[in-house]
Chains A and B, each alone.
Chain A
Amino acid sequence: MQIMKHLVKNRLALAALITLGLLYFMALFAPFFASYQYDADDCLYSWAPPAKIHPFSFKDKMFRPFVYGQTYRINDYYARVYREDKTKIYPIRFFVKNFDYKIFGQGKTNIHLFGIDEGKIFILGADLKGRDIFSRILYGSRISLSIGIVGAGLALLIGLFLGGIAGYFGGEIDNIIMRFSEMFMMAPYFYLILALRASFPPNLSSTQIYLLIVVILSILGWAPVSRIIRGMALSLRETDFVYAARASGLGDFAIIRRHILPHTFSYVITAFVLDVPSYILGESALSLIGLGIQEPEASLGNLLSQAMGIVNIRLFPWILYPGLVILLVTICFNVLGSALRDAVDPKRKIL
């Protein structure tokens, strides 16, 4: 509760929290917010630019936001040049009917937040295959944002477990676990990701790849956490209340669970929030170079892989929007993390 109060006082952190909440909410209900399915391609709209939304027009007697239809011509370099077709006017409607989807696996529906009756609307533009980038970002952030949470959570669990054991028991067990953790910390991070990924077959299903990425990233991420937890456990096990618990006959694992790990909570919550972006970035990096989530499945990383060539960025700058989402998420998590760190720091509570 104390922590929440601090966060509410910190306007920037509150904004970050709300932004993140919104992003995760949109990812959770991606099909509702999306205009099209993530793999719905349309060769008529290859590299279509973001739609210009007009608030109203007296000339066309349209007094609600609308878009014009799009046509293109082929220029001298055989590239499509899109322009608005002023004869076609599509008003933007809310809660329109489009493709079917299920929410949490049940309740079939086809209501979407917004859309147009005919033609197509790409509010953030389309990619090479004419797929809506906005919809793909929504579907992709489902994967990317959840990998951040799941990966950081798994790494923290491993770190808490091994760090708690190492710190509490000390001696040989501590030595073994810490040398083991150093093995993961000394190798260059990115090469280790690649090496681990390479040790699995390339043609896995998307669920398998998802799990694989989570496992790879958390295998590499638990070591620093476990070292800090170990340090805390080392000092906590010398406290009188742990001695008292031992003297009353409580088992070692019960003591770790009840009296050691809960005291690391303020660190854990901060570390968790600060670690999430690195998992999102890890997934993005893997997908960017084609070792992560595979097409046509979307993730923020593999959406960006189309932006690898300078020509694409020059001609179709809207394909950088997924990068903007990654940036936003990373900044929000870091702002929130440092606010949390300040909030749980006992020295600041006195002020």
Chain B
Amino acid sequence: MDILRTQNLKVYFKQQGKAIKAVDGVDVFLKEGLIVSLAGESGCGKSTLAKTILGFNKPYAGKVYFKGVDITLKKNEPVIRKNIRIVFQNPYLSFDPRYTVFAALYEALTVFKKLSKSEGRGLVVKALNEVELNEDALDRYPHELSGGQLQRVCIARALINNPSLVILDEPTSSLDATTAYKIIKLLKELRDSRAMTFLFISHNLKLLHKISDFCFIMYYGKIVEYGPKDILYANPLHPYTKLLFDSADYKIKNILQAQELDYYGCVFKGNCQRKTAACDNPPSKLEAEPGHAVFCFNVDSR
């Protein structure tokens, strides 16, 4: 069952009188208990999508359903707060520098239930142990911990009230490779031990290959391709997906040009090698294999 589903979600921003279509008609669905990844280049609307799911941005149109409940409605905000958590890219920015690790976690812990400091301490230590940190970190200030440690604390804070969905917004981008690897390992263990759903947002395709079960590829506010990881990585169909894979291997042939976006037709047509007249129309979904869909007119038949 889909734990979260967006339906034709549109988030527009006004900038200098023009509408910036950060998210433009996105349908994503998150299967329960999987690590779902959302990939795409910087500025394609990944983080905006995450913030919209969390209710920080008001969608222009469309719906977000969490277990069938429409969470774009103001009255359903408690559902978001109870069930969805987020981990940000930079751990140093996601903690208030004025409070210790314990204070930050205790604050998150006591939002829904009242707990005394001593009761809370036990639970906070448990949460820290789960992310492989020990009690020493408890009374430290965020700046006294390393990036990797602090990101673990961040994950601990996200998990502390047993949410059903955790959004990870590039959680390893500001960490070095070995630390990032440890975090990834931790997340995988958590998925297996707690049956949680993760939405992993990243631009790092190799990383996503390691961790995710299901992939969405996003380009300029639109989903261009999605499918189970193995199928998608073995057989990318959309020209943009192919380009993304090539650039991950530093095999890029043509650099993307800045382009005037045509929000009506295919967003990628300006840079597409195989553009045809049909690309001026909105691309329709083409189900290449079961569960693997692509929004393109000119898909290679294998």
Contact = CB atoms under 8 A, between A and B. Distances in A.
A258 B51 CA distance: 22
A207 B267 CA distance: 72
Given A240-B93, A244-B157, A250 B86 contact: no
Interface string B73-93: 000001001101110101001
A247 interface: yes
A259 interface: yes
A262 B98 CA distance: 8
A245 B96 contact: yes
B98 A239 contact: no
Nearest to A246: B56
B94 interface: yes
B95 A247 contact: no
A246 B88 CA distance: 13
A129 interface: no
A263 interface: yes
A246 B82 CA distance: 11
B196 interface: no
Given A247-B85, A248-B161, A240 B94 contact: yes
Nearest to B110: A250
Nearest to A242: B96
Contacts of B82: 249
Given A243-B56, A263-B98, A248 B88 contact: no
A244 B84 CA distance: 11
Contacts of B64: none
B98 A243 contact: no
Interface in B80-119: 81-82, 84-86, 88, 90, 93-96, 98-99, 107-108, 111-112
A240 B81 CA distance: 16
B94 A241 contact: yes
Contacts of B56: 243, 246
Given A240-B88, A243-B56, A243-B88, A248 B95 contact: no
Interface string B39-56: 000000000000100101
Nearest to A262: B98
Contact of A244 (B78, B86, B98, B161): B86
Contacts of A243: 51, 54, 56, 86, 88, 94
A241 B93 contact: yes
Main SS at interface, chain A: helix
Interface in B119-149: none
Interface string B143-163: 000000000001001100100
Interface string A256-273: 001100110000000000
Given A244-B88, A244-B157, A250 B107 contact: yes
B93 A248 contact: no
Interface string B239-256: 000000000000000000
Contacts of B94: 240-241, 243-244
Nearest to B97: A241
Given A240-B90, A263-B98, A245 B107 contact: yes
B162 to A, nearest CB: 12
Contacts of A246: 54, 56
Interface in A260-289: 262-263
Contacts of A259: 96
Contacts of A258: 96, 99, 107
A236 to B, nearest CB: 10
Nearest to A265: B98
Contact of A247 (B54, B78, B112): B54
Contacts of B107: 245, 248, 250, 258
Contacts of B158: 248
29 contacts: A240-B88, A240-B90, A240-B93, A241-B94, A241-B95, A241-B96, A243-B51, A243-B56, A243-B88, A243-B94, A244-B86, A244-B94, A244-B95, A245-B107, A246-B54, A247-B84, A247-B85, A247-B86, A248-B111, A248-B161, A249-B78, A249-B82, A249-B108, A249-B111, A249-B112, A249-B161, A258-B99, A258-B107, A263-B98
Given A241-B96, A244-B88, 14 more contacts: A240-B93, A241-B93, A243-B51, A243-B88, A244-B157, A247-B81, A247-B84, A248-B107, A249-B81, A249-B82, A249-B111, A250-B107, A259-B96, A262-B98
